[in-house]
Amino acid sequence: MFPPKRTLSIWLLVFVCGLLVSGRLSAQIEQFSTPLGEKVRISLAPGWGLYSMNDLNKHYIDRFAKVAGIFEDNIDNGPTIYGEVSYVVTPNISASLGVNYLRGQLEEKSWENVVVEGEGTLAMRWERSLTTTALAPQLMVKYHFPLGDLDLFSGAGLAWCWGKSILKSDSRIPDLSTSFITEDRFKAQGAGLLGCIGMSHDLSDKFAIGTEIGYRHFVTGDLETEGGTPWVVEYNGTSHKIKLDFSGAFLLVTLSLRL
């Protein structure tokens, strides 16, 4: 697999080449195209995305959580919900303001025997979870190639990411009706960018359904608690701070309403 920076460069190169090719394609099909109908569109799009999570996977999960038996897997993908309002600026150009919600999660459950003074050996149940989320407003510009009921497009945009991470542990001894719960919350912000290509098909004068694929580069700063304490993982005599990295390819299925 390519390193993250090289992967991003490849995606950007492909996207730029796509814009150049699409420009020539637009000129060739202009005589067959029809302008985009209506000025305002509201869209809702569920989907799935790949997440890089380099710091979290490498420094916390691989070097600490897996070794300690806390988690067995990495966070490398998760669901996406995206909503936007777009405005048709020209017959071929639209601008949109939208919001992404991204989520990745690990959960682990296990039993182990513990010795309790005066009670002997009892069973303890562990439940552990690591949840990462990002709320990312974005501004995107798309270039369209409307062909009757079919609309082909490519686009690029900027985003701002508010990321959160919740690390929770719940241990219980059922025979004693006792529980021990710990929860650590961290947050961070950071800029992002993305590119996409896609298509939509008119179902009626008002509704359209479509799909789009693309690449996000969504990375936050260092995660910190509400009090400003950074999340630091130490091993082999070195300390490592943790960033959230939701970068990766994504796929969306969209339903749009024209106003």
User: pLDDT (tens digit, 9 = 90+) per residue, 211-249?
Assistant: 999 999 999 999 999 999 999 999 888 999 999 999 999
φ and ψ at 247, to 5 degrees?
-70, 140
Q: Which CATH number fits domain 4-104+133-160+192-220+232-258: 3.30.230.10, 2.40.160.20, 2.40.50.100, 3.40.190.10?
A: 2.40.160.20
10 vs 251, higher pLDDT: 251
Question: Quick one: average pLDDT of 2-12?
Answer: 50
Q: Three-class SS of residue 14?
A: helix
Task: Name the region of 206 (left: φ>0; alpha: ψ -120 to 50; beta: rest).
Answer: alpha
Which residues are registered as beta bridge partners of 154?
143, 197
Rounded Cα–Cα distance for residues 139 and 195 (Å): 11
Which residues are registered as beta bridge partners of 130?
106, 167
Q: Are 117 and 127 in contact (CB under 8 A)?
A: no
Residue 16 pLDDT greater than 60, yes or no: no
Give the range among 136-140, 145-149, 154-158 with minimum mean pLDDT: 145-149
Which residues are registered as beta bridge partners of 165?
132, 186
Report the pLDDT value the prediction gives residue 37, as an integer from 0 to 100.
Answer: 58
- The tokens for 81 are 């919900």
- The tokens for 59 are 């420094």
Question: Quick one: average pLDDT of 250-257?
Answer: 97
Question: Quick one: average pLDDT of 20-36?
Answer: 47
Tracing tokens 């082999």 back to the chain, one arrives at: 236
Report the pLDDT value the prediction gives residue 149, as an integer from 0 to 100.
Answer: 87
Question: Quick one: average pLDDT of 189-216?
Answer: 95
* Length, in residues, of the chain: 259
Residue 7 pLDDT greater than 70, yes or no: no
Rounded Cα–Cα distance for residues 39 and 258 (Å): 8
pTM (predicted TM-score): 0.81
